[in-house]
Amino acid sequence: MGRRVPVLVIVVAASIVLVAAVAAWYPQWAVAIVVRTERSDYLPGESVSFTLTLTVEGNRPVTASPSPGPRCGNVYYVVEDEAGRTIYPAVGGLGNCPLITVRLLQPGDTLAWNSTWNQVNSSGFPVPAGHRYGILGVFRDRVVHVFASPVWVFVKPA
């Protein structure tokens, strides 16, 4: 006489398959932003040039309006101090925004652009030397999941 498969095992297996199918179908808006600097150490006052690369990681297209300056469009960068506080740009401050190009990016698309931080805080004063500062890519959209982490640069003591 053969063994009967427990009903609970069948229910659990069917539930796992159902959840996986729904997750694959469910709209997912997600981007990853990577920041790459030319190097990791800078002299005080020296411009920090870097490249931001945005990749659509989800299964739905996203609209991106990258900006060479901070807080323009929906893709920009901020600078954090070692405690994780945003020191540049000021929260809510947009500054002078150039004409922005809007792009519709499909899943898997990548968009890269260059930018520069001049080692100043939101008030325009030079940041203290001898500290690390994190440059972080930001994507401003309520439904898009963003995967990003800061790239740290060290401003050498004078």
Instruction: Please report the pLDDT score of residue 69 as a whole number.
Output: 60
Q: Which two tokens stand for residue 104?
A: 């519709």
pLDDT in tens, the chain (158 residues): 566 667 666 766 777 766 665 555 555 899 999 999 999 999 999 999 999 999 999 899 999 887 766 667 788 899 999 999 999 985 544 456 666 678 899 999 999 988 899 999 989 999 999 999 999 999 888 888 899 999 999 999 97
- Is 9 among the domain residues? no
Instruction: Please report the pLDDT score of residue 97 as a whole number.
Output: 64
* 13-to-5, 8, 22, 93, 142 alpha-carbon distances in Å: 12, 9, 14, 52, 34
- Is 22 among the domain residues? no
- Is 137 among the domain residues? yes
CATH of the domain at 131: 2.60.40.2970
- Is 114 among the domain residues? yes
Instruction: Please report the pLDDT score of residue 142 as a whole number.
Output: 80
- Is 32 among the domain residues? yes
- Is 7 among the domain residues? no
- Is 95 among the domain residues? yes
Domain count, the chain: 1
Q: In whole angstroms, give the CA distance from residue 113 to residue 111.
A: 7
Query: What is the extent of the structural domain holding 101?
Result: 28-155
- Is 17 among the domain residues? no
Which stretches does DSSP call E strand in the chain?
30-37, 41-42, 48-56, 62-64, 75-80, 86-88, 103-105, 110-117, 131-139, 145-148, 151-155
| pTM, 2 dp | 0.77
Instruction: Please report the pLDDT score of residue 38 as a whole number.
Output: 92
